[in-house]
Structure 1
Amino acid sequence: MAERKCTLSVLVENTPGALARIAGLFSGRGFNIDSLCVAETLDPTLSHLTLVTHGDDFIIEQIIKQLRRLIDVYKVVDVTEEGDFVEREMALIKVRAEKEYRDEIYRICEIFRLKIVDVSPRTYVIEVTGDKNKLNAVIDLLRPIGIKEIVRTGLIAMKREKKTP
């Protein structure tokens, strides 16, 4: 069986230890977490967790079954199997901003609709939001200028609503 990337949308109790139990499930069974992003929902007692992992169909099925058995977990949806979904990632990139590079940085920001969110005499912090390909393209263009630091959020995903009238 071929391996595939799997993006899971997990609704979980917003309680101490819930995330640790989920991470423990993965480490205890030798599964890998490629990306993990979690935040409170509109209901402060619940958190939404977007988890990216990989494996063959059997492993993905086992991960989902094991997650559903955890007491803190309310709902698990494999958005990659459910069909159409939106996924995004955000990164903050600290780049050298010496005078000779500033025009090039501004051009890259304009082309990719990026935001400069912090300025110092020698560096800019640029916010990038988009899919993995966009983030990687921006990183590739900024690398020759001089990237000092990168922080990425990891993937977030949401299932699209059906477009029936």
Structure 2
Amino acid sequence: MSPLQIQKGTSRHSAYDLRDPHSDVEEVHTLAVLVDNEAGVLARVIGLFSGRGYNIESLTVAEVDHEGHLSRITIVTTGTPAVIEQIKAQLGRIVPVHDVHDLTVEGPAVERELALFKVKGSGDKRVEALRLADIFRANAVDSTLESFVFELTGTSAKIDAFAELMRPLGLIEMARTGVAALSRGV
């Protein structure tokens, strides 16, 4: 911390945005991309990432305006500040892309992910799995005599934590949707 107690890089709206664009530190960023809902757009966006060796941590796509034929692609990616700026600039140049927002630097955002967990177990392990599911507010959406399927919505960290606790109790399969995110406020 500096003598003025100013933290580095809170948002681009801050007068104290002290992020170094030449830093070698990898950062995780959530990008919201508004695109035309037409064939091949997702392939072009993904091609940009794969062609340049950029990594995608999470990807979600859904139509958000049926009448306007618009879809929203939410991408969680990692890179240095310079690489993130390059990704945003290159996304903005793709013709069917209308808007690119870096939710990580534009201010507070709400991020959630949905996951399904299949947990096999009996006896004490089964009881413990139900107890932990209750603590995490996971819903049991399917139950057999040998297994449960739990549904959990929350941050990626919450889902990771639940998965780690379920592994020793018999986690046999997991499916995740990827991050969906919106900026807070108006």
Length-normalised TM-score, structure 1: 0.93
The one-letter amino acid of 2:183's match is: K
Q: Name the SS for the 1:105 alignment partner.
A: helix
Please list the CA deviations of residues 83-125 of structure 1 after superposition, one character each: whole Å capped at 9, or x if unmatched.
1000111111100132433321221121111101111221111
Tell me the equivalent position of 1:40. Answer: 63
Greater RCO (Cα-Cα under 8 Å, separation 6 or more): 1
Q: Return the structure number with greater helix share.
A: 1
Q: Name the SS for the 2:38 alignment partner.
A: coil
- Does 2:99 match 1:75? yes
Unaligned 5+ runs, structure 2: 1-22
- In 1, the alpha carbon distance for the partners of 2:94 and 2:182 equals 22
Residue from 136, 139, 163 that aligns with 1:112: 136
- After superposing on structure 2, the runs of 4+ consecutive aligned residues of structure 1 that deviate more than 4 Å are none
Confirm or deny: 8 A CA contact 2:27 2:79 kept in the other structure. yes
- Does 2:148 match 1:124? yes
The alignment-based identity, stated in percent, is: 47
Residue from 74, 77, 84 that aligns with 1:50: 74
Tell me the equivalent position of 1:88. Answer: 112
- In 1, the alpha carbon distance for the partners of 2:72 and 2:123 equals 43
- In 1, the alpha carbon distance for the partners of 2:52 and 2:131 equals 47
Aligned residues: 162
- In 1, the alpha carbon distance for the partners of 2:157 and 2:52 equals 31
Confirm or deny: 8 A CA contact 2:126 2:169 kept in the other structure. no
- In 1, the alpha carbon distance for the partners of 2:174 and 2:99 equals 32
- Does 2:176 match 1:157? no
Give the 5 Å matches for 1:58-73. 58-73=82-97
The one-letter amino acid of 2:56's match is: I
Please list the CA deviations of residues 109-164 of structure 1 after superposition, one character each: whole Å capped at 9, or x if unmatched.
211111011112211111111112211221121111111101111111110015xx
The one-letter amino acid of 2:90's match is: Q
Tell me the equivalent position of 2:48. Answer: 25
Q: Name the SS for the 1:81 alignment partner.
A: coil
Tell me the equivalent position of 2:10. Answer: none
- In 2, the alpha carbon distance for the partners of 1:154 and 1:14 equals 19
Max Rg structure: 2
- In 1, the alpha carbon distance for the partners of 2:170 and 2:126 equals 12
Length-normalised TM-score, structure 2: 0.83
| RMSD over equivalenced CA pairs, Å | 1.3
